[in-house]
Structure 1
Amino acid sequence: HPARDVFPRAAGMVPRASFALVVAASCGHCLCEHSASSACEAGSAECADVDDIAQLQMTRGLRRREEYDDWEIRQADGSPNKREEAAAFTYGNDLCLFGGREWQPIECLRGTTWKRFNTWTDNLHHVHPIFYDGLLWIIQGWTGNWLDERDIDRIRIWNPLTDQMTTGKLPDGRDCWIPSQYRTGAGGTVEYNGNFYLVSGASSGHLQSVGAYATKRFVKFDPTSCTWTNMAAPLYERDHFQAVLVQGHKLIAAGGRWSSFSSNDNEAISHPTAPSEMYDFESEGDGWVRKADIPTPRGGCANVAVGKYVYVSGGETDRGNDKDWANCNHPSSLKWYANREVSRYDVETDTWDVMPEMVKGRHAHGSGWLWHGGRKMLRVAGGVECAGGGTELESAEEWILPIDDSPGIPFWAPPSLLAASAARA
């Protein structure tokens, strides 16, 4: 399998360099990779020994950095409102930012222009929106300032066509409050077969000293009746992460942390949750199943599902070693940059790969995948550059996904097909 050229980017983007495809195949009783040995290159059934294979697997992620393109800052007209502890959703082929501390507008990056809607949120943060049936739903989150963070008690629904947000009401006008036992923030939410599922999170903010505690639970919400039902509890305490649905029925929880683990307030980001876990809606009897540990455990990350993969970008830990006393000088900053790492989880092989790093470290940001020139790309926006608080970012970054991450739509697909696919995304 010789090196081959990758199709160039759309107009205005720097053409990408060619890269060599690394091919893994089953050779008898072991795993061999292209160029791992002359025997494998020759197509022989003989492969490298077990030690060689272990070394190949250890270095697999490092090679990924060389194979793929780098992230690029998206040059745009204008900039979004600075915000932290916000979230993102995709609307058409736009990445939109929602919520965050203080007053924040809903803003979408359309092409190279930021569009601002008239609707603003009032200190609504640590949310995870669900865009369903033309409406944006919020069923968990916090309000209030640091050390006085409170769980929201009513759902929110935003209609992008009318640019109106309702609080505590279903679309038909009936009241919809969140029962006290199901209130949480910084958790994950997904939609499956018309129901919403709330995964873990934390109640009453970050710190144990002010009454915060982990909400290790799994709850089904019926948006037609505002009914809440307990499901099988997850395996691990986990907040400051995002849940995603892979291949239509596999709920993956990866990244995050246990913010309220310690009574020491200085350790709110010190206890990341390393194991991933999966709940398969088509095998509900199995409950939650532990999956591979994320290579760089961290909270405050943004997760996106693309095909059989989960991409986890950014985050923050207390183990930073890239200190920047000039930029990270906010009173609540920990004086080092947030994570630049991007990790990719393969749900079929239960393995993680290391992807190219973002240009800037960021946490408390939003992300999503969009179409770009017939290819899928990841876009991230907003968030905070330094671990802790402060140094809020106005920039957005993009990364074109590898061809094998963009199944279903060929690169030569007509614009009408791409537009229809984007509308369904």
Structure 2
Amino acid sequence: MREEPSTEPGRFEAIDWDKHDPNDAAVALPRWLPAAAALLIAAFAYDYLTVDGLPVAMDGLDWLLIAGLYVVGSLIVLPITQSPDQVRTYWAQFRTDRLAVACLAYLGLFFLVGLLGPLYFHEPRLHVLYSSQPPVWGSIDPIYVPRCYGEILNGRCQGTWTFPLGTNGIAGKDMLPLLVLGTRTSLSVVLGAAAIVVPTGVGAGVAAAELGGHVETVLMWLAEQLQTFPAILIYFLLFFWMVEGRLRLLIAVLGFVSWGGLARLVRNEIRVRRSEQFVQAAELGGVGSARLLARHLLPNIAPSVLTNVTLQVPLFVLVEVSVSFIVIALSGGTTTLGDPTNFSWGEIIYNSLFSVGAPAAWWLAGFPLVLLFLTVFSFNVVGDAFVDALEPRSD
């Protein structure tokens, strides 16, 4: 006769091990995760390998953006679906920091404008005669504008709702679309670099932790060596071979030299998690390595991976803006290291230096500088708050 589970204190509940299949190594990932990856790869292959391609015009930068959305979305959704209680604990700790919550809200707006803004705002038209127009609430001395679009009151040209944020110098382009398109460029850098850093860093870290030995030594050595190479120098060396797609080149360089820290983090996190009781219990229960990694290890380290990426991307945004200020000589003239085919906050700031100037037309450089500051500051604050939520510090 089968023994009934005892309810006496001090005894473990009897488990029918026949119900457990120790050879079951099926990866317990959400079904949408591999399915979405396969769909994206198939769409990319169809777009680039067929004559007509997709009915929607897509370039390499668009695909990097979509890949980044998939990667970042996976880092957010995976722990929510696999460890909801743990996520609620992290969120309870995170929301105690009001500044971090406000910065997270700004980043949500940053993502929303960067993704959807270009659907409504397109490249602005030239208004050479109406260059350097002030924002709707501002004014400028008429000597600095070829022609005032609004009224002249008290000897100053007033702004209008036609150009709510004014126009830039020389070309007279509406500042609002320029800033929105610049936001799209910065978002492309953030997500494009993440699409390279996360798979490479996580893959290298998992391989180092699981295989160990010479594989770990080689991977960690490679990660360390890549981090010693300045990304901007590598970009400069490859710049002369790129006629088009400089922004894609910059994103690729930033991604491939920045995964080392994440790889070490993933390796260390997996080793720490393997020593915890719930993982050891799963191993004793006969859970296979693949299932253990996918069901217990990766979902638990996903918040740490997201934190690491959040703290890295402000540097990517700053590098993209900075290259617009580096002027180099070419045959027939000069150019900047930036990509002239994509609008950038750095390009707007750089062009403002050679027009009316900051004192007279502060909005030319002021608006992109404010957006740059808020974006970099918000990523840093949210990243630090993530660290505090994952590893609360005792006062």
TM-score bracket for this pair, using the shorter chain length: under 0.3
TM-score, normalisation: structure 2: 0.20
Which protein is richer in helix relative to its size? Answer: 2
Question: TM-score under structure 1 normalisation?
Answer: 0.19
Q: Which is strand-richer, 1 or 2?
A: 1
Q: Which fold has the larger relative contact order, with Cα–Cα distance below 8 Å and residues 6 or more apart in sequence? A: 2
